[in-house]
Structure 1
């Protein structure tokens, strides 16, 4: 019996992965040795890496495996692994994935040799493996050409920027702040009044929490989430816009995208065929025709549950 390691795995909405049926709380095992991409139970060692295989709108779980039963992908920047025996521990939400990734990134201790780091004039920049923290007011943290990066900014009037990051988390906690990332499977988070969060790459997530905040996620399978009197906009294909406050606005403008909101919020649904906009509808979440917390999409002129 070796060390028990924790991983993260994605499934479809019916708890299936590659047509194999899973169930939370169950343990699964194969005979013989596992083989990457061939046989065994695959999972990710980085939380956000699950978005490489399943869109954020699917189901995800924490899994456990004996390290003696696990084979890791030796590829650079790869977080893929396969186990002979795996246990599906519990389901995790999108918010939990983000929190787990922030903790995961902050603990990374890889060498930063060969990476380019730009402070863009900010003060109090701390380099900790793959994690940067800036607690000064009116300052900026900028990161380029990095992998699996975590950036946190806590001062007022601050900005956090990361580009070319494969799995990155940006976090701003202050008034009039901005968090932006263009990396694959990235997350941009801000919690200030009049703040903005922008995530523009595949399977990215943008969250803005604060009055009059704006969250924008513009690429495929992305999610934008807002709280308070705010606007969430998704223009990528199969993306989701979520409104969490009354009188706020969720805009789903990408092909195959959908939107949901709380009672009293508004949804803008767009029927788009590739680059052509076929129809646009604006509806209010009234709890009757349009239910709270239910994702809706516009297909061939009809509003339906996603």
Structure 2
């Protein structure tokens, strides 16, 4: 999916010398990519969810930064990795700060008014089909199901099922 002219706050990993794929970066600088922008292929890459960066860069040997991405962008559905034509390296961020930003990011995605996917009554059902989600149920003779990727279904009631 390609979008344009929307500024996105994201998180980027680097080697210890502030390089990434042979490209030298510096905090406070803006970089522009010439050419096609395609997630996982070309452009500047970062992740909207801070902890997704750890899939690409080990916290023990890497540096991380908050970045602003703009211009043409491209996303893929595997995680929150995004490619952009323009990137500004805003500020360095450490692992505890990334965890705090991750919690804020998750809380910002919660629809607090949505129907609940947690139940405590007997003979109740909790289902969820979204990725990275949870369905819980604590009632007896109850069912909790979840079909999303990286998701969890739990049930603590007697004669109950979680799948």
Q: Report the alpha carbon displacement of residue 87 of structure 1 after superposing the two structures with TM.
A: 0.5
Question: Are residue 106 (structure 1) and residue 81 (structure 2) matched?
Answer: no
Partner deviation per Cα, 1:15-73 (whole Å, 9 max, x = no partner):
1111211111111112123122222101101110000100112110000022x421111
Contact 2:59 2:95 in 1 (8 A): yes
Structure 1 CA distance for aligned equivalents of residues 58 and 146 of structure 2: 24
Write out aligned runs for 1:95-244 (5 A).
Answer: 95-109=96-110, 113-114=128-129, 116-120=134-138, 164-165=150-151
Structure 2 CA distance for aligned equivalents of residues 147 and 56 of structure 1: 27
Partner SS for 2:96: helix
Paired residue for 1:10? 13
Q: Which runs of 4+ in 1 moved over 6 A?
A: none
TM-score, scaled relative to structure 2: 0.67
1:37 to 19, 36, 40: 40
Distance 1:16-1:103 versus aligned 2 partners, 3 A rule = same
The higher relative CO (CA closer than 8 Å, separation ≥ 6) is in 2
Contact 1:8 1:44 in 2 (8 A): yes
1:23 to 1, 4, 26: 26
Unpaired stretches in structure 2, ≥5 consecutive residues: 118-127, 153-163
Paired residue for 2:95? 94
Structure 2 CA distance for aligned equivalents of residues 4 and 105 of structure 1: 19
Q: Report the alpha carbon displacement of residue 109 of structure 1 after superposing the two structures with TM.
A: 3.7
Distance 1:29-1:116 versus aligned 2 partners, 3 A rule = closer
Question: Are residue 64 (structure 1) and residue 33 (structure 2) matched?
Answer: no
Structure 1 CA distance for aligned equivalents of residues 148 and 63 of structure 2: 25
Q: What is the root-mean-square deviation of aligned Cα atoms in Å?
A: 2.9
Distance 1:88-1:144 versus aligned 2 partners, 3 A rule = farther
Unpaired stretches in structure 1, ≥5 consecutive residues: 122-142, 149-163, 167-306
TM-score, scaled relative to structure 1: 0.37
Contact 2:38 2:73 in 1 (8 A): no
Partner SS for 1:39: coil
Distance 1:146-1:86 versus aligned 2 partners, 3 A rule = farther
- The structure whose residues are more often helix, as a share, is 2
1:54 to 48, 54, 57: 57
Structure 1 CA distance for aligned equivalents of residues 148 and 95 of structure 2: 21
Distance 1:145-1:24 versus aligned 2 partners, 3 A rule = farther
Structure 2 CA distance for aligned equivalents of residues 80 and 95 of structure 1: 20
- The structure whose residues are more often strand, as a share, is 1
